[in-house]
Every structure is written in structure tokens, then in C-alpha cells.
């Protein structure tokens, strides 16, 4: 019973990784790719990279993320099929960092073009400030969605979300937040 409760807690924590307060959304793509030729997708066969963070590396978090991405792709008219060869593959990557108060700028790479975002004591939430006015450490999360051309095996589109992780959300709020972030990222796919 203890193991089951522990697993459930870790799964809920993994979903909160994507519960960033006002995440910065970005995307980049290969201008030479023929996005109009994409109709059928599949997930990368080798699975997701292990991060070493048990909050992320679990089956429940993987299912939630894949369901959210799959729902958005279906809304856009993309399908999966066991009988048809995919036109593109989908992969995602999640990372979490614990930052100390003295870190003022965090750089993350979306793999195609890096972005920088700034953290300052003024923009951090009230929950991170102690009564003495000191800023506590906080967590930032990065979430990437890759679209990989099936023929070339090259990443042709990458969407990103990065920001401070908001703690204290209910499981339902985390689920809604995940769907909202995935929607925001994939609203830029295919590029116009």
C-alpha cells in the first residue's frame, strides 16, 4: 500500500512539472520542410530520454503527456495508423532545475535556436519569499515537443515551454495546465 501511494504521489508531482506559471512559449522550424505532406504520425520508437528525475521518469507522466499531445494533433487532423507508414514522428523532452536565489538569468536551448529568460526577485511569486525578504530556491521546468521528418530523421519543428513551476496545484489543475501548455505549443504547428 505504501509503494502504491508513493507511486501515485510521484505521478502527480510529475504532472506538476508542466504546471509552470505563465510559461514562455516558443518554436522554431526548418523552412525547407514540406509540412503540407504530413498526415500520419507515430511516436519515436526508442521512447523518451531518461532524465534521472523520478518525478518525470514514470509511466503515468508519460501517458499524460502523450495523451495531451495526441489530442492536439488529432484536433489538427493528424492521425496514427498501424497500417500506414508515418510521415513524421513525435518526441517530447522534460527537464526540471532547482535554482538558487542568486541565479538571475537561465539559458535554455530549444535545440534549434536558444532563448534566454530572466528571473528576478520582483517577478517571483510571493510563495518564494520568506518573511525576512529573502528569496528561496525555486524550480524551473522546460518542456520540448519535437516533430521529426520520417524520411530524413531530422527535427523539422520544435516547440518549447519554459518557466517557473507553480506548486500547490490539485491533480485536476495540473491536468488542465498540461493541456493548456501543450495547446499553446502546438498552436504554432504546422508553421504558417
The larger pLDDT score, comparing residue 141 to residue 26, is at: 26
Q: What mean pLDDT comes out for the span 135-150?
A: 84
pLDDT-derived band at 138, boundaries 50, 70, 90: low
- State how far the Cα of 187 lies from the Cα of 91, in Å rounded to an integer: 17
| E strand intervals along the chain | 24-29, 41-43, 88-99, 105-109, 114-118, 138-149, 155-164
Instruction: Determine the pLDDT at residue 168.
Output: 78
Most confident segment among 100-104, 175-179, 188-192: 188-192
pLDDT at site 101: 57
Rounded distance, CA 164 to CA 119, Å?
A: 9
Identify which of 96, 1, 109, 98 has the alpha carbon closest to the alpha carbon of residue 54.
96
Greater confidence (176 vs 104) lies with: 176
Pairing of strands 88-99, 41-43: parallel
At 108 the pLDDT is: 44
Verdict on whether the full-model pTM lies above 0.75: no
Query: Who's near 46: CB < 8 A, 6+ residues apart?
Result: none
Domains of the chain: 2-186 (3.30.160.670)
99 or 73, which is more confident? 73
| Residue of 29 and 113 predicted with greater confidence | 29
Number of Cβ within 10 Å of residue 11's Cβ equals 18
- Average pLDDT over the chain, rounded to whole? 76
C-alpha cell at 57: 521518469
Q: Which residues pair with 24 in a beta bridge?
A: 162
On the question of a cis peptide bond just before residue 190, with omega within 30 degrees of 0, the verdict is yes
Is pLDDT of 33 > 60? yes
Q: What is the pLDDT of residue 22?
A: 78
Listed in sequence order, the DSSP H helices in 76-191 are 171-186
Q: What pLDDT shows up at residue 47?
A: 67
Report residue 130 as a C-alpha cell.
520568506
- DSSP secondary structure code for residue 51 in this structure: -
Reading the block at residue 22, the C-alpha cell is 505563465
On whether the CB atoms of residues 149 and 101 are closer than 8 A, the answer is no
C-alpha cell at 100: 538558487
Which pLDDT does position 97 carry in this prediction? 79
| pLDDT value for 66 | 94
pLDDT at 177 over 80: yes
Residue 57: the pLDDT is 76
Instruction: Tell me what the mean pLDDT of segment 48-52 comes to.
Output: 73
Identify the weakest region by mean pLDDT among 4-13, 62-71, 97-106, 138-147: 4-13
The residue among 175, 161, 179 whose CA lies nearest residue 74 is 179
How many Å apart are CA 65 and CA 85, to the nearest integer?
23
Amino acid at each position: 500500500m505504501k509503494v502504491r501511494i508513493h507511486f501515485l504521489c510521484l505521478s502527480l508531482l510529475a504532472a506538476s512539472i508542466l504546471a509552470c506559471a505563465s510559461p514562455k512559449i516558443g518554436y522554431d522550424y526548418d523552412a525547407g520542410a514540406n509540412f503540407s505532406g504530413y498526415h500520419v504520425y507515430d511516436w519515436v520508437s526508442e521512447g523518451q530520454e531518461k532524465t534521472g528525475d523520478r518525478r518525470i521518469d514514470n509511466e503515468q507522466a508519460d501517458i499524460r503527456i502523450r495523451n495531451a499531445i495526441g489530442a492536439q494533433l488529432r484536433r489538427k487532423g493528424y492521425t496514427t495508423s498501424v497500417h500506414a507508414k508515418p510521415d513524421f514522428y513525435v518526441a517530447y523532452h522534460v527537464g526540471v532545475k532547482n535554482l538558487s536565489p542568486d541565479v538571475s538569468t537561465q539559458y535554455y536551448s530549444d535545440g534549434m535556436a536558444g532563448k534566454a529568460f530572466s528571473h528576478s526577485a520582483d517577478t517571483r511569486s510571493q510563495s518564494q519569499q520568506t518573511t525576512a525578504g529573502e528569496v528561496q530556491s525555486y524550480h524551473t521546468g522546460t518542456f520540448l515537443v519535437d516533430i521529426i521528418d520520417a524520411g530524413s530523421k531530422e527535427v523539422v519543428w520544435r516547440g518549447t515551454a519554459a518557466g517557473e513551476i507553480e506548486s500547490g496545484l490539485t491533480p485536476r489543475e495540473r491536468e488542465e495546465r498540461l493541456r493548456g501548455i501543450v495547446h499553446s505549443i502546438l498552436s504554432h504547428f504546422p508553421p504558417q
